[in-house]
Amino acid sequence: GFEHTGFHKGFDPVLQIRYHSVLDLKDKTADDIIKNMDGLRKRNTKKVKKNGVKVRYLSEEELPIFRSFMEDTSESKAFADRDDKFYYNRLKYYKERVLVPLAYINFDEYIKELNE
C-alpha cells in the first residue's frame, strides 16, 4: 500500500519522498506476490511475461534515457515532473539503494521465442 509521510512543514523535497509504495517481500515467493495482486496488476504481469518484456537497471550515465521518458510522460499525462537535479540528487544521496528500471523488448530474442 501507500504510506503518506507528511505535509510540507519540515519537509525536505530533496531528501524526502511524500508518498512511497511499500510491499513486504519477506518469506514470500514470486507466486505469493502475484496471488495477492489485484486483477489489473495480475493481468499486466502475465501480459508482460507473455510479450517478452525484460527489465534492466540504468546507470547514472544512462539517467537521460529515464528523464526523456519522464518528460514525455509528464507532457502526455499533464503532470509536473521534477527537474534533472532532483533525480541526480536521489542517486547522490541514496547511492546503491536507488534503482532506475527500464522495461524493454529484445525483438530478436522475442521473435525467436515466438517461432519456437
What residue spans define the domains of the chain?
1-50, 53-116
pTM, full prediction: 0.67
For 92-111, how does the pLDDT look when each residue is reduced to its tens digit (9 = 90+)?
A: 988 998 999 999 999 999 89
30 within 8 A of 49, measured Cβ to Cβ: no
For 44-72, how does the pLDDT look when each residue is reduced to its tens digit (9 = 90+)?
A: 999 998 899 999 999 999 999 999 999 99
